[in-house]
Structure 1
Amino acid sequence: MFDVFGSVKGLLKLDSVNIDNNIFRLHYKATVIILISFSLLVTSRQYIGDPIDCIVEGIPSNVMDTYCWITSTFTIPTSKIQETDNFHPGVRPQYEGDQVKYHQYYQWVCFVLFFQALLFYFPYHLWKSWETGKMKMLVLDLNCPIIAEETKKERIKLLVNYFASNLHNHNFYAFRFFVCEILNFINVIGQIYFVDFFLGGEFVTYGRDVISMTEMEPEDRIDPMSKVVFPKVTKCTFRKFGPSGTIERIDGLCILPLNVVNEKIYVFLWFWFILLAVLSSLALIYRLAVLSGSRTRMFLLRAQAQLAPCNEVESVFRKCQIGDWFILVLLSKNIDPLAYKELICDLACRFEGREEIQPA
């Protein structure tokens, strides 16, 4: 198992400098790890065996398996009465006029999961390219637990000088981050409908159908995804020339162990995407409240600078625009609380003219 998922362990490491928030990290870190892990899982035969095994007379099994995997298998939609009479929904004799549903989704699942991981990572990649290491530059190693007092004071002084000379120049920086938060929300909603399109319109209501299925009697339960999208038993027709040149139509029964994994993956993804969409919408509501309410920003800055006197925090806040406030909030996540207190107090002194302004 370590060999399979060892390639994603690099995504688990924490960044030395925090440039986003927890909900943002759920998109580009947790979700990307989940999707890549699932993509690797469905390609790992040592855990699920062969993805397809077909039963047919007169044709070598390996030939039939390869043929049916490439050309896709199919089921014949049945009524509820027919389902109770069959061991496997959708597997019955085919008559003229019967509708046939072909199943090719399972061939593309690993690629689609990886593509979705790239889409979830894109907003973070965009933000990181826009951020250009500004926060790492401003932290100046003040996130180190052990630092000489003189060095700390010198670096805080540099930070104060930077703010004094670049006040009101950070709005564009902040709004770029807010744009990436909107992209995260748009992406997760789009992903839900993308998967629904990929699975033939069965994904949007899948979680609700699974929940309703658990309330049924065990003998009456038929997994909605197993019946429609990822059936475990399907049909496959092989055609070849007979001894006299007549085309022979050979009917095969195929077992798809891979679909046992696929259906579990998409059950989990349905609930995960819904949770992520809800959290992302709450994050946007929070961001709207921050943008529209100066009292909200004031309260949040006080919460981040708990060690600093309230009057000093208010003095700094009165001079700050939304971008400056955003930079200060990010700094509070990256530097030691005592160093942050000194930064707020020194900024208040600088803004109120209680010390001589030094050049940047």
Structure 2
Amino acid sequence: MYSAVKPLSKYLQFKSIRIYDAVFTIHSKCTFVILITCSLLLSARQYFGDPIQCLSEEKNIEYVQSYCWTMGTYILKQDNATSGNAQQAVRPSNANAAQWRAKHPRSRSDLRPLVDHDEAYARAAFIAEGVGPELRGVSEREYLRYYQWVIILLLVQSVIFVFPSCLWKVWEGQRLKQLCSQVGDALLSDETYNTRRRLLVKYFTTDHEDLHFCYMAKYVFCEVLNCVISVVNIIFLDVFLNGFWAKYLQALATLPFYDWDHWNRVSSKVFPKISKCEVLKYGPSGTVNVMDNLCILPLNILNEKIFVFLWCWFLLIAIVSVLNILCRLAMLSNKNLREKMIRSQLSFMTKRHVQRALRDLTIGDWFLLMKVSVNVNPMLFGDLMQELCELRTSSSISMMPDSAV
């Protein structure tokens, strides 16, 4: 398993040029690795066994298991009406409850071949949640087919979450790599230092207003897309698992009281570990024989842990994405906040000097300047801002009338 997951660790390594911020990285790259890892876990049969195992009197058990996996198993919806009718079918009366329990003890020896009709219903009533006596025309079935799509779903989700990252990589066009290459190290040669500083000064004193605004707008669009994807996946997960979170909250509510029996009953409504499967077999004369089989779904033990984690993870990154978008809007609408963000990267420049350096820079220029600040040597960025400040000062003096000078 480690050998299969190890290549994914390279995807999380920090690059020399960072074109994403921390929130973007967590949303796209980390989520992609988590989803791929979950799909690998579910497909590793050597660790968790076959996805379905059925108990049947049929000799060709492999056919039964393939049929149940393909056509889908089912559980019985447990409502008051159904459970009441089932109990009336197997229990004589409340007064004879003790005699009934003595007649039908809940033990392992009680799982011998079922012969008597009433005893069959009595024993089936406690096999598992949703697996019990089925009354024709009364009991309602809930078919389970989502487990056939779990691995495919995780793979599709991983592609969806990594899509904004790939989109931004295409739109970005290696602009930061061209601006910040060779100057991210702490120690730089004098020749490289001076050459890259002059190039950066020349670039930020040239008019690229439209280009930089489009650059910023595309990045903000990708951030909004990240948030939308996380919210849509939360809704889709609830639909895919048939009201997953509403049911699972009931199970989580039992944890503080250590009520594990209720936990198992409620969680089994979402991820049943035991289910039923009905196979039709035709006799020599064409008569249909219905075979009622009991199936175990081992992967649902892992599915419930994976989807609870994914739900919480999607909820977390959705909240973080919304907060990040609000912070981004605040920065774009508040000039003073943008100046403070630049000053946080500088330890020696005064507020007035920063304002003077940013005087002729547009909001798109500021955005790219912030990206540059986290990818270059701090001393180089400080000299860049100092030179921009001096150029703005000299240009303002040259524009003043002679009488004022």
Note the C-alpha offset of 1:223: 4.3
- Comparing 242-251 and 184-193, the one that deviates more: 242-251
Indicate the SS of the match to 1:236: strand
Structure exhibiting the larger radius of gyration computed from Cα positions: 2
Counterpart of 1:16 in structure 2 is 16
The answer to whether structure 1 residue 321 and structure 2 residue 337 are counterparts is no
Change (3 A) 1:225 1:354: farther
Whether contact under 8 Å (2:250, 2:266) holds in the other structure is no
Equivalent in the alignment of 1:116: 157
CA, structure 1 residues 270+210, in 2 after alignment: closer, same or farther (shift >3 Å)? farther
Mapped pair 1:91 → 2:131? yes
SS in 2 for 1:215: helix
Q: Does residue 1:179 correspond to 2:221, yes or no?
A: yes
1:189 aligned partner, one-letter code: V
Deviation per residue, 1:89-147 (Å, 9 max, x gap)? 11012211221110011110000011111111111111111110111111131102332
String of CA shifts for 1:138-159, please: whole Å, max 9, x gaps: 1131102332123201210111
CA–CA distance in structure 2, aligned partners of residues 166 and 134 of structure 1? 16
Unaligned runs of 5+ in 2: 88-124, 399-405
Asked whether the equivalents of residues 4 and 41 of structure 1 are also in contact (C-alpha less than 8 Å), the reply is no
Quote how far apart the aligned CAs of 1:13 are: 2.1
Task: Determine the structure 2 residue equivalent to 1:192.
Answer: 234
Q: What is the CA deviation profile of residues 214-242 of structure 1, one whole-angstrom value per residue up to 9, with x for unaligned ones?
A: 13442442347742332000001111112
In 1, Cα distance between the equivalents of 2:191 and 2:350? 23
User: Match for residue 59 of structure 1?
Assistant: 59
Work out the CA distance in 2 between the residues paired with 1:225 and 1:353.
Answer: 74
Matched to 1:37, the amino acid is T
- 2:78 maps to 78
What is the aligned partner in structure 1 of residue 186 from structure 2?
145
Task: Provide structure 1 residue ranges, at least 5 long, that are not aligned to the other structure.
Answer: none
- TM-score normalised by structure 1 residue count: 0.92
Q: Residues 53 and 156 from structure 1, CA distance in 2 versus in 1: closer, same or farther, beyond 3 angstroms? A: same
1:155-170 superposed matches below 5 A: 155-169=196-210, 170=212
2:262 to 221, 230, 239: 221
Q: Secondary structure at the match of 1:319?
A: coil
| Distance change >3 Å, CA 225–CA 41, structure 1 → 2 | farther
C-alpha offsets along residues 11-54 of structure 1, whole Å, 9 cap, x if unaligned? 22222211121111111111110011101111110111111110
**C-alpha displacement at 1:9, in angstroms?**
2.8
Query: Would you say the 8 A contact 1:77–1:90 is kept in 2?
Result: yes
Take 1:229 and 1:211, find their aligned partners in 2: how far apart are those partners?
13
For 2:275, what is the secondary structure of its paired residue?
strand
Secondary structure of 1:165's aligned partner: coil
TM-score (normalizing by structure 2): 0.83
Q: How does 1:282-293 map to 2 (within 5 A)?
A: 282-293=323-334
**Partners of 2:298 and 2:386 in 1: CA distance:** 64
Q: Retained in 2: the 8 A contact 1:305–1:313?
A: no
Whole-angstrom distance in 2 between the partners of 1:143 and 1:11: 20
Q: Which of the numbers 302, 307, 311 marks the counterpart of 1:266?
A: 307
SS in structure 1 opposite 2:254? helix
Match of 1:336 among 364, 377, 380: 377
Tell me the equivalent position of 2:93.
Answer: none
**What is aligned with 2:95?**
none
Match of 1:351 among 392, 397, 400: 392
Aligned-partner SS, 1:304: coil
CA distance in 2, matches of 1:225, 1:142: 58
Q: Distance in 1 between matches of 2:170 and 2:73?
A: 45
Show the counterpart of 1:3.
3
Q: Shift in Å at residue 281 of structure 1?
A: 1.0
The one-letter code of the counterpart of 2:135 is Y
Offset of residue 207 of structure 1: 5.6
Inter-partner Cα distance in structure 2 for 1:185 and 1:208: 24
- The secondary structure found in structure 1 opposite 2:43 is coil
Matched residue pairs, number?
Answer: 355
Between the aligned residues of both structures, percent identity stands at: 35
Amino acid in structure 1 at the alignment position of 2:130: G
Distance 1:136 1:258, change over 3 A: same
